[in-house]
Amino acid sequence: MPWVESIGAVIKGIAVPYGYTLAIWSAGMLAVGRYGHPRVSDVFTFVLGAVAGYLLFDLLSLGGLSQEGNYSVDVPSIALLNVLPIIPALLTAFVAREIPWKWLGFPAMGFSATIFYILALGTLFWIWSN
């Protein structure tokens, strides 16, 4: 495989996790801007919120996955532009604005960034495949 194709394969392989990284990082920065410097417990609840959002969609999607245990999806070329994280970043900004309490804000930001990214990317994949 030529070097340029190798780089292209890497880019395609990291498109989805890179987009999620941008979305969750944006949510973390919005949380810090809204609620101040986090304590260790705030970081922990932020992560718990993100994990809860992931698990929610994991449980909801179980019926849609094949029973073989392996599931792959072709990443639409438009996803490689990674403009999709703008959607969860904007939506989590509204969440931060509406939740005044730090104890609820940090987990809500992790949760909302995760579910908004899953919804946005899932919708893109659905549109692309239909």
Q: What percent of the chain has pLDDT over 70?
A: 87
CA separation for the pair 84, 67 (Å, rounded):
29
State the distance between the two ends of the chain, measured CA to CA, in whole angstroms.
31
Query: Is the separation of the CB atoms in 113 and 27 below 8 Å?
Result: yes
Q: Quote the DSSP letter at residue 85.
A: T
Comparing CA positions, the residue from 29, 37, 41, 36 lying closest to residue 93 is 29
- pLDDT single digits (tens) 71-110: 566 676 776 677 888 999 999 999 999 999 999 999 999 9
9 C-beta neighbours (distance < 10 Å), count: 11
- pLDDT single digits (tens) 52-71: 999 999 888 876 555 565 55
Q: What is the pLDDT at residue 104?
A: 97
Q: What is the pLDDT at residue 65?
A: 56
Comparing CA positions, the residue from 83, 96, 87, 78 lying closest to residue 118 is 87
CA separation for the pair 110, 15 (Å, rounded):
20
Query: Is the separation of the CB atoms in 18 and 82 below 8 Å?
Result: yes
